[in-house]
Amino acid sequence: MGKQIGIVGAGSWGIALAYLLSNNGHDVVVWSRSEDTVKKLEAYHGNEEKLPGVILDEKVSFTSDIEVAVKDKDIIVIVVPSAHMRETAKKIAPYISESEEHKQIIVNCTKGIEEGSLMLMTDVILDEIPGSQVCVLSGPTHAEEVGRGMPTTIVVGAFEKEIARYIQNVFMSNVFRVYISPDMLGIEIGAALKNVIALAAGMADGYGCGDNAKAALITRGIAEIGRLGMAMGGKFETFSGLSGIGDLIVTCASMHSRNRRAGILIGQGKSMQEAMDEVKMVVEGVYSAKSALALAEKYEVEMPIVKAVNEILFDGKAPADAINDLMMRDKKTENISLEW
């Protein structure tokens, strides 16, 4: 039986998920805060600028009224930039049902860390909507491919197994395979930090470092993500899974990745702002970089790649100098848990 689903956010990922969920037989409404954007969405029946070529089923509707998007919906999918998560959760809060008979489920699809508070996105949602039923959906999932029905895998994390199973059944299809996990924290840490490592990978590409350097950044990047994630309470298995190494690979290697594209431009000598302007989409890694470094300091975890990205983005350090500093760090053992 089809579910009533509100998608809060009309960017490329929101439209791709609307495509998937409507094809799965659910009733979908997509919300944008801009009335002008809604008119464009209705005219094209998709987002021509962010996800050209993906035309949604005629049953999908669009609105700029948050009440229409979330009230009485079975599932609310939040797909807004991390910097807008708190204000969006505030808008949603008055319309969330507290009835045990109709417990709405909020699916967080936003990857990031709130600057200042250092809260993960599901924690921001729970802070603004206490007692709500929240889960997280993440993995190696470029909207450009999901919106064209290309085979994709993803993981849903939830506090309760029944909720994870429920969301798994709603989203799963023959082209969208969904796994479940209890490690929400690990999933969100992997999702947020891979954007920072992808910026570094893009910078290396833009500077012309080659494939060896790319492989090193991916491998040592997941080591950094795992160290911080486990210090915060995440599980090792999560970082070796879809929302860890899986999402990191796709974000570091693909030209669909806005973080990698921005990194390439910075590696070629453009400023952070010039790179963001040229990509024309939210580059989440820029927003997560400071927070990632703050978390590393808070949990006393060494994260040299994340530190280097921050120095390039915010301190004016040249990519060439950052690369040299990374290469010439003190000699290390690759894995201290292995004994001679």
| pLDDT of residue 4 exceeding 80 | yes
How many percent of the chain have pLDDT more than 70? 100
Average pLDDT on 47-55 reads 95
List, as one string, the DSSP characters of 74-112.
SEEEE---GGGHHHHHHHHGGG----STT--EEEE----
CATH topology of domain 185-327: N-(1-d-carboxylethyl)-l-norvaline Dehydrogenase; domain 2 (1.10.1040)
Instruction: Give this prediction's pTM.
Output: 0.94
Domain residue ranges in the chain: 4-182, 185-327
- Mean of per-residue pLDDT scores for the chain: 95
Three-class SS state of 138: strand
pLDDT digits (tens, 9 = 90+) for 256-268: 889 999 999 999 9
Active-site hit among 50, 194, 214, 307: 194
Task: Answer for the pair 34, 42: CB distance below 8 angstroms, yes or no.
Answer: no
Give the pLDDT score at 260: 94
| pLDDT of residue 315 exceeding 90 | yes
pLDDT digits (tens, 9 = 90+) for 272-291: 889 988 888 778 888 899 99
pLDDT digits (tens, 9 = 90+) for 101-149: 778 999 999 999 999 999 999 999 999 999 999 999 999 999 999 999 9
CATH topology of domain 4-182: Rossmann fold (3.40.50)
What amino acid is encoded at 316 in this protein?
A: G
3 is catalytic: no
- Listed in sequence order, the residues at least 6 apart from 118 whose beta carbon sits closer than 8 Å to its beta carbon are 291, 294, 295, 298
